Structure 1
Amino acid sequence: MEDAPGAREAFERARAGFEAHRGLGVRERLAALSTMKAVILERRDEIVERVMAEVGKSRTDALIAEIIGTVDWISWLERHAAGLLKPRKVKTPITLLGKKSMLLRRPLGVVLVICPWNYPFHNAITAIAAGVVTGNAVVYKPSEHAPCEGLVEEMLACSEVLRDLVHVVYGDGSMGRALIDEGPDKVFFTGSGATGAKIMSQAGAKLIPVELELGGKDPMIVFADAPLERPVAGALWGAFTNAGQSCSAVERLLVQSPVYERFMERLIEEAGKLVVRPDDKGDADIGRMTAGFQRDKVIAHVEDALARGARLRFGEVPGRDSLVVRPVILDGVTPDMAVWRDETFGPVLPVMPFADEAEAVRLSNDTGYGLCGSVFTADRARALRVTEALEVGGVSINNVNMSEGNPGLPFGGVKKSGFGKLRGPEGLLGFTVSKAVLIDKATSKIEANWYPYTEEKHRRFNRFIDALYTGRRPRLPGIARHGLGLERFSQRPRSRG
């Protein structure tokens, strides 16, 4: 593999690739992505090994999140991208009678994608695929904490189109700043809120649009009428998948008071069955954490909670000598504790009881974050009420993290969790700019709203407005009579005064 380019060289290559391939249609771009999908499937064991080595996730975790999620997105694009990106007719109002309207979707140009370390392959390929299929070139920078150097390039090597359009750059935050200085047409960033704020500030000074997918403090609400087994299992997986290093992990568990103690007993019992072991053969549930600084944040949150009166119901305070961090379950937590207030991004699950629906919603929304949430109940009407009330970008009902799992649904948050969407029609179209088109006939006619303006034309416009907008319903004969009269009058030449 040739040496990775610097910031300026990457954009020069990307802009040259954009110009060279801007005539390609959606089907041709999809063909390149389909070829890459086949390579991913063929080499999935190798990809999983690389991700495990750098990130530390369990083998099955890596297979599901990094491979299935990625391939599922490309498959969705194969089915839907062409239809979403084709020119669309738009209804033209009667005030523009005789004209036609349409909406075009065009690529932005060269987009910059900056991804975090927790899902290094999935995040990279899904964003790259969206950028390519919409006609853009892509400059991609992975996190320096899990760059998986060369892996993305090996996937792109299957297609000349992909090699020309996508360019990978490695480095830390200073490289990210240098890339933004090169003037991308849009920045797509996934990562922490602190870094997202810096990117937004730098890009804003250059009027570069940004989309930010930031952290979360996702609530999971369990009502007393929910069958116990499913939410218990869902809470464990939702909180501890990828060692809790997921922006949409369950970071706050709310359980209705009548079943709280029984739920906790079962939760602790099942947590004891989890297998935590790095470098597994597919037989471990949780691997290791990725970075020491993130483990230290977990330690700080747990120690703060215990010092403020929380109870350690399962696990232990992690040590600083290993990245293997076993799950921690806390209760007796209060809203002022860091573990309840701030994103932990590790295998820690704080649990709190609630009395009724109103309190569950209030506690869930009492945060600056708003990424995802989940609701477990046998009452469908209540599930939908609570879903509507939660201040988040996505909700899973009687499931966890699954609104994110459907490639046809947009993923993104509100409040400090960012703005903009990934995946789904909304996310795909975020890689495009819309172009509004109105089509008229090539004639010598003068538009009624063009000059000259006269007192008579003013009166005729008023009569046309009355016919069109007043009364219980539009009266087509009157609209037509006044509209045609206005059109005929507008063709008369202005009389000389």
Structure 2
Amino acid sequence: MNMAVEHSPLSPLQQLLHSQRSQYLSMPAPSYESRVTKLKQLKQSLLQNQQEIVTALNNDYGHRSENDTVISDIMPCINNINYTLKNLKAWMKPSKRHAGLLLSPSKVTVQYQPLGVVGIIVPWNFPVMLSIGPLITAIAAGNRAMLKMSEFTPHINQVLRDLLAQVFDQNEVALVEGEADVAAQFSALPFDHILFTGSTVVGRHVMRAAAENLTPVTLELGGKSPAIIAPDMPIETAVERLIFGKCLNAGQICVAPDYVLCPEDKIAEFIQAYQARFNKMYPDFDSNPDYGNIINDRQFERLTKVIDDAKAKGATVISASTGRVTSGKRKLATQLMTNVNADMLVMQDEIFGPILPIIGYQSVDEAIGYVNQRDRPLALYILSFDGKTQNNILHHTHSGGVCINDTVFHVAADDAPFGGIGPSGMGHYHGKEGFLTFSHAKTVLNSGKINSGILVHPPYGTVIQKMLMKFFLR
């Protein structure tokens, strides 16, 4: 008896993935020329829509510094495209490997093949850099992509939708919007790879959903990135080097310094120097256009709760500016905290905002021990001009990346991988490592007319086989 098999109708997301995968299978190896053309068109579209991007992000935040947007969202994408165009031909070239005497005269190469369709899950803090950045590398590797944007950035989402439509059709690159339910459906799709940028908590959900399909994931998470000020470092210089990384986008950055480890006898000096530098960078703070808002009421209330919790449990809170917040606005200067402890919310999860705990130490080894007793961070910042101190901290700590005498700018290094470790992430992208992440490294063994493999065929025990065993098992 024949029984009809009923198939559940595909959801819109499943239909989109199915369509992209079908198109990929019809053209599984885009040429170098076609990839370059798309990247150049994407670059022009970004440049032509620069003002629209600035305006949209300003609308999403209530206020966001134009220069913050240009420096941290637009410029990295342009630099990324330029760097990729310069290096793509070399990345795509198959690499020759040694077959070894056992497999001679066969030849071995590794070919870099597109994975297929990549899912990119984008957070709200840098929605251009963290969507277009991975997309650049995915396109360079020959893939198609679906982008899940944050529901908290509707204005920039629309600009990016229009911008991408100028270059790609839906079967090449598609932008998806929606709240948590859509994000859950998206991460459960059987992509060929998922790249997620966001919190460690949500990252666990994404990895769990991807595991159902055995989909490989790259997780760019966060965590509590420490800045260690060594005893040799002048405090004013230390503040000058780290303050930009804490104030950019009002500290809403996964690699922002999350807390400072400072020599105990220099904490008061650090606070004074930070306040002086902050007010020099952002005079008339309440009306200063160079400092952005907290993105929405939900995030502002979360940060307020963290501050109130710390105060209630004995922390001292000192604003870097004259006030904590301007009435009616979500504008929050750096809130410096001392006397913090592990029971406070501020020391339990990534802060992701303009709050900076300062923890005193008596020796560099004590500071190293403090870092190592906690989850491995996405970034670690060493503020010291002493080579031995630098190497001591480098060799005795683990982190996704390191800046010495600077903060956050290591993310802008196009020719180096970016990624976390443990709870701060897994896998890498940026540069060549990003191309490899979005490619399948396929080993190809090519044997010609001479077939040395026949020498090991049964029946076993021939004189030649005995000689081979004796030669190679030594």
Q: Could you tell me the TM-score, scaled by structure 2's length?
A: 0.90
Q: Which amino acid letter does the alignment assign opposite residue 150 of structure 1?
A: Q
- Which residues of 2 match residues 429-440 of structure 1 at below 5 A? 429-440=436-447
Contact 2:52 2:159 in 1 (8 A): no
After the TM superposition, list the runs of 4 or more consecutive aligned residues in structure 1 that deviate by more than 6 angstroms.
276-280
Write the distance in 2 (CA, Å) between the matches of 1:50 and 1:145: 12
How far the C-alpha of 1:288 sits from its partner, in A, is 0.5
Contact 1:369 1:415 in 2 (8 A): yes
Relative distance call for 1:178 and 1:416 in structure 2 (3 A) is: same
* Post-superposition CA distance 1:324-373 (Å, at most 9, x none): 22221111222442212311111101111222221121122332242001
Write the distance in 2 (CA, Å) between the matches of 1:319 and 1:342: 26
Match of 2:160 in 1: 152
Q: Which moved more, 1:198-207 or 1:379-388?
A: 379-388
Match of 2:3 in 1: none
Asked if residue 7 in structure 1 is aligned to residue 13 in structure 2, the reply is yes
Match of 1:442 in 2: 449
Residue 35 of structure 2 aligns to a residue whose secondary structure is helix
Match of 1:89 in 2: 96
Q: Could you tell me the TM-score, scaled by structure 1's length?
A: 0.86
Relative distance call for 1:375 and 1:265 in structure 2 (3 A) is: same
How far the C-alpha of 1:256 sits from its partner, in A, is 2.2
- Which residues of 2 match residues 286-435 of structure 1 at below 5 A? 286-314=291-319, 322-435=329-442
Write the distance in 1 (CA, Å) between the matches of 2:79 and 2:60: 23
Residue 410 of structure 2 aligns to a residue whose secondary structure is coil
Match of 1:33 in 2: 39
Write the distance in 1 (CA, Å) between the matches of 2:132 and 2:374: 31
Write the distance in 1 (CA, Å) between the matches of 2:291 and 2:24: 42
Q: Which moved more, 1:456-465 or 1:77-86?
A: 456-465
- Which residues of 2 match residues 133-148 of structure 1 at below 5 A? 133-147=140-154, 148=156
Write the distance in 1 (CA, Å) between the matches of 2:40 and 2:425: 31
Contact 2:380 2:401 in 1 (8 A): yes
Identity of aligned residues (%): 26
How far the C-alpha of 1:258 sits from its partner, in A, is 4.6
Contact 1:410 1:421 in 2 (8 A): yes
Contact 2:16 2:171 in 1 (8 A): no
Match of 1:189 in 2: 196
Contact 1:276 1:284 in 2 (8 A): no
Q: Greater Rg, structure 1 or structure 2?
A: 1
Write the distance in 1 (CA, Å) between the matches of 2:209 and 2:153: 24
Asked if residue 242 in structure 1 is aligned to residue 249 in structure 2, the reply is yes
Relative distance call for 1:446 and 1:307 in structure 2 (3 A) is: closer
Q: Which amino acid letter does the alignment assign opposite residue 215 of structure 2?
A: I
How far the C-alpha of 1:74 sits from its partner, in A, is 0.9
Relative distance call for 1:454 and 1:343 in structure 2 (3 A) is: same
* Post-superposition CA distance 1:199-251 (Å, at most 9, x none): 11111122111111112211111112223333212332122211111111111
Relative distance call for 1:135 and 1:446 in structure 2 (3 A) is: closer
Write the distance in 2 (CA, Å) between the matches of 1:167 and 1:92: 42
Q: Which amino acid letter does the alignment assign opposite residue 172 of structure 1?
A: E
Contact 1:374 1:396 in 2 (8 A): yes
Q: Which moved more, 1:186-195 or 1:382-391?
A: 382-391
Write the distance in 2 (CA, Å) between the matches of 1:65 and 1:438: 44
Q: Which amino acid letter does the alignment assign opposite residue 193 of structure 2?
A: K
Write the distance in 2 (CA, Å) between the matches of 1:70 and 1:463: 57
Write the distance in 1 (CA, Å) between the matches of 2:157 and 2:83: 27
Match of 1:205 in 2: 212
Query: How many residues end up aligned between the 2 structures?
Result: 460
- The gaps in structure 1 that reach 5 residues or longer are 470-497
Relative distance call for 1:262 and 1:124 in structure 2 (3 A) is: same
How far the C-alpha of 1:51 sits from its partner, in A, is 1.4
* Post-superposition CA distance 1:227-281 (Å, at most 9, x none): 333321233212221111111111111112353332222112223345389998x
Relative distance call for 1:182 and 1:336 in structure 2 (3 A) is: closer
Contact 2:218 2:426 in 1 (8 A): yes
How far the C-alpha of 1:440 sits from its partner, in A, is 1.4
How far the C-alpha of 1:452 sits from its partner, in A, is 1.6
Match of 2:70 in 1: 63
Match of 1:127 in 2: 134
Contact 1:112 1:140 in 2 (8 A): yes
- The gaps in structure 2 that reach 5 residues or longer are 1-10
Contact 1:368 1:416 in 2 (8 A): yes
Write the distance in 1 (CA, Å) between the matches of 2:400 and 2:101: 37
Contact 1:27 1:82 in 2 (8 A): no
How far the C-alpha of 1:38 sits from its partner, in A, is 2.0
Asked if residue 109 in structure 1 is aligned to residue 145 in structure 2, the reply is no
User: Which of 460, 467, 471 is the aligned partner of 1:460?
Assistant: 467
Match of 1:80 in 2: 87
Residue 420 of structure 2 aligns to a residue whose secondary structure is coil
Q: Which amino acid letter does the alignment assign opposite residue 155 of structure 1?
A: L
